[in-house]
A and B are shown apart, each in its own frame.
Chain A
Amino acid sequence: MNRQIYFCILAALGFVLLGQVAFIPVTLSGLWGIVWLSLVWRFSKHLMNPFPKWILVLFVFMSLALIYVNYQTLFGVEAGVAFLSTCLFAKSLESKNTRDLLIVFNFALFVSASLLLHSQAFWMAVIVFSAFIICLLGLYRIQTNLFNKSKLSSKQLKQDIKQIFKFVGIATPFFILLFIFFPRLPPLWAIPIQKDRATTGISDRMSPGDIAQLSQSSALAFRVITDMYQLPSRQSLYWRALVLDEYDGVTWTSSFFNQQIKMEPAHQRAVKYQYLPADEQSDWIMGLEYSIPQERYLQLYQDNSIRPSKLIKRNQPIQMLWLGRSADEAIPLSSRQFEFNIKFDHDRDLKSQKLAYELFEKNQKQPEKYIQSVLSWYRKNGFVYTLTPGTLGGDRIDQFLFSSRKGFCEHYASSFVMLMRYAGIPARVVTGYQGGQLAPDGQSWEVRQLDAHAWSEVYLNGKWKRIDPTAMIAPQRLDSGMQDYLAQDQTVWGDEKAKAWRLQQFKFLKNVRIWSDYLSYQWQSKVVGYDVEKQKSWLARLGLDSTYGYVIVLILGVGGVLVIYVGFYWWKQTNQHKEYQRLIFKFERSVPKHLHKTPSETFSVWMQRLGTQVQNKQVFEQVIVSHQKIVFLEQSNRANIQEFKRLLKDCAIALKQS
């Protein structure tokens, strides 16, 4: 087997492996990694013969066993891709002749395409494209190596890759045309979607005291596309995930009351917006408070949370309706619900209970007044907003309110809700995101994981009223957004000496993150999310509405590209000749066929022959002299060329007249 071709196999396997590492179990990637490394080692030792059969069987068996253990099946998307990769590795291990190699490269193309089922991110596209180039290189080398068996050298590699890129370059216009105008067909049959483990910053439980140090991820959570002027200002942008109303002294969870479906009547004053989750399979849709979904598969629940009723993987933005600022309507609470929302454990956090009782008494048991005094109590008692509050144990509310006094939104929301409940006012915690930032191009609004937030709602006058105690402690958090707040306020980062470094790191990463998210958003919306609607708008822009539009544009486009190529080719051909040569060709075409130049004749012999056809030979002699001047004396300036042209014309006239 040829070393040059074997190199392509190794590279293709490497890319296939690289593309999967993030998605397959560690054991599997470890096994394949070992196999790949041993192939590379053998390659460096010039060993390219196929592996013994028993190793092959062992490898396949182990891989399949690992796949089965991890996925409980050999089919489905993820297991299927892993299965295909196993076959590819096995085929590479046993390949020994050209036919095997052909199969390996074609199969590698298929496997690399299937990697796109894992992710359609830009980086994955880059990996798949690299694998594609390598496979083509392999096929190319199989062909060219029949002719010359040159050594493996980086120069050869560069040259071959250049060739491949040239071919791909020629193909690109056709590819673009196909991509834009090829009709997007509906699925031929239903396909099961992978069962998934969504991982957003939001979870269905919350236990503030457990987190000693909140790590701030600047990963994108979701993106909202609309005219931002129609939405409220940043402080009031509360993106709601779900309500947590059940507290066991440690953890907040969501009760069954929230699991009921809510029917929302149509609203007049509603703002449309599009919601594009970064993770397509998240459990909640974080709508702007209060929003209703416009998609059939999304369900609105009693706590105003929005969840998909079935798992659908899609790359399209979700259509949403924001009901506006005045949407908070009166909601009657059943007595059970009322009881539930003032429930607390009487034996726990006694100091806090005492505080609540005292403050409530002081405010003549008026809820509004009581809320204000609680908030001002927070303000006056030296509470600090920090991401490194340390853990709490025992009576957590007491500890937070009376000893540590350091915490982030969850601590404030949680303690505030409990202070309300101690006074008999129904209250609950709401989680979600707050704020966000305009994308670099100003066309969309980005909300990141670090914008995750928790706030509270208090039931007043038959309505749930939002109260955000964090705003009392760290108002800038809401005004300028979490990103800027983190960048400016250094106390947030805790007391360690390394905080300056971490701050710098954060600022740098923040910028990198924003730009990479922006690029991936463009990728997502322009390439991955290119669908029937966008295709239609393209055609509409070209003034074509009919379904035949696609076909017409496709044919015209391909024809156009071909014309351009042919034109370019012709131009290149003609440019290879000097101007006087072109003049001669033109002259030759204008005379009858028997007077054409024969291959054995030189220009002067030819002209002399032509001269015998007419009486006035002078002009032919002049043309010979002029030709000699241009060709042999290299005086091909404008004047000489012009004269040559004129003389040839005279010759043609003389021949016609004879």
Chain B
Amino acid sequence: MQNGFKQKIEKWVEKRFQVDGEKTLLQKDVLVFIYKQGFLYLVLILITFIAGINYANNLILGFCFLISAMLCISFYLTFKQLHALKVEVIAAEVGQVGQSLMLKILFKQKINSARYLRVQWQENEQLIYFDQAQQALELTVLPQHRGHYEVGSIKLFSTYPLGLVRAWTYFYPKQKIWIAPKAYDWQKEHKNQPTNVNDSLDEFKELRSFQLGDSYQNVAWKQVARGQGFFIKMFEAQANHQYLVIDYQQIPALGHEEKLSFIMGLVEQCEQLGDDYCLILPHAILERGQGHAQLIKAKLLLAQA
């Protein structure tokens, strides 16, 4: 019962603090309450109040009022640390097991004021002092499992100026992050020399216009310099119509995960060699191609498999 209640609250918080891309923190987004040592301070207020009354000592009572006023002001000042802050959470669409996944948080503010912020995500906490119009914070984590990655909550809080009060908010990024399988290391078995033919060869078969995702290594800079256009060199090796068909069914491995890992390894090798490849997976098929865009697509498919 209690657990269910807790879950319900968590669900509600998650729904309430969901963020899609950019978010400006408004009054309703910022939570404020007394922080740990603030309770000590409250006790102090209480004691001085009693002492002031009992000894009919106006100055002690005045002192009590002064520290109470400071506590109230702390609420406002701490709240202002988060208020009107524009936060953008950017995450890579696809990560990979064993490689660090980066979550970028972009802070923006209209008026430059000093903010002392603390960000808590997963187990790690980062402090940032922010007094410019824009500042980025990068959080990294090592994903352990293939598939959908739960970003969970990112907690942004501040206890400035006196640590008596904490203002905080949560971010639950709406964006889904997929984690591709760890690549099986083919290099260990086949000691292939990395054939980095691209740079040395000036003889290319044809030029085609640049497409998004093409490697800059293959840009025909000569032509670009002459002002003929932004072209990509197509080499003999690439241009030949041989390409690798990676079929899930044909992979010599037992488990599902293992197969995916093999496929990932093959994909990476193709990318390294500059070969075209296509994927045939049980649930989807990836058309022939290569380059960064192709790799992302492949990773995404493998992550979702």
Interface residues of A (CB under 8 A from B): 77, 102-103, 106, 109-110, 113-114, 116-117, 120, 124-125, 128, 132, 136, 139-140, 142-144, 146-148, 163, 167-168, 170-172, 174-175, 178-179, 182, 184-189, 191, 314-315, 527-531, 573, 576
Contacts and interface: CB of A to CB of B under 8 A. Distances in A.
A191 B55 CA distance: 7
B102 interface: no
B73 A171 contact: yes
Interface string B52-74: 01111111111111111110110
Contacts of B67: 109, 132
Contact of A106 (B37, B55, B69): B37
Contacts of A109: 44, 67
B48 interface: yes
A-B residue pairs, 8 tightest by C-beta: A171-B69, A178-B65, A174-B69, A147-B129, A175-B69, A139-B162, A171-B73, A116-B59
A530 B58 contact: yes
Interface in B44-94: 44, 47-48, 50-51, 53-70, 72-73, 76-77
Category for how many chain B residues contact A: 35 or more
B54 A132 contact: no
A113 B63 contact: yes
B254 interface: no
Contacts of A102: 37, 40, 163
A132 B48 contact: no
Nearest to B73: A171
Contacts of B58: 120, 315, 527-531
Contact of A143 (B61, B64, B69, B163): B163
Contact of B53 (A132, A146, A187): A187
Contacts of A178: 65, 68-69
B111 interface: yes
B253 interface: no
Given A102-B37, A147-B129, A171-B70, A191 B54 contact: yes
A289 B67 CA distance: 47
B40 A120 contact: no
28 contacts: A102-B163, A106-B37, A106-B40, A106-B44, A110-B48, A113-B63, A114-B51, A114-B60, A117-B51, A117-B60, A120-B57, A143-B159, A144-B160, A144-B161, A146-B127, A147-B129, A167-B77, A170-B73, A170-B76, A171-B72, A174-B73, A175-B66, A178-B68, A178-B69, A179-B62, A188-B50, A191-B55, A527-B59
Contacts of A167: 70, 73, 77, 161-162
A163 B161 contact: yes
A125 B65 contact: no
Contacts of B72: 171, 174
Contacts of A140: 161-162
Contact of A187 (B56, B69, B127, B163): B56
A110 B63 CA distance: 10
Interface of B: 37, 40-41, 44, 47-48, 50-51, 53-70, 72-73, 76-77, 111, 116, 127-129, 159-164
Interface of A is mostly: helix
A136 B66 CA distance: 12
B80 to A, nearest CB: 10
Query: Considering residues A142, A167, A188, A191, which has the most beta carbons from chain B within 10 angstroms of its beta carbon?
Result: A167
A117 B69 contact: no
Query: Considering residues A103, A163, A184, A314, which has the most beta carbons from chain B within 10 angstroms of its beta carbon?
Result: A184
A77 B55 CA distance: 10
Contact of A188 (B40, B54, B111, B159): B54
A116 B73 contact: no
Given A110-B47, A125-B59, A132-B66, A143 B54 contact: no
A527 B51 contact: no
A509 B141 CA distance: 74
A238 to B, nearest CB: 33
Contacts of B59: 116, 120, 124-125, 128, 527-528
A530 to B, nearest CB: 5
Contacts of A185: 53
A132 B128 CA distance: 28
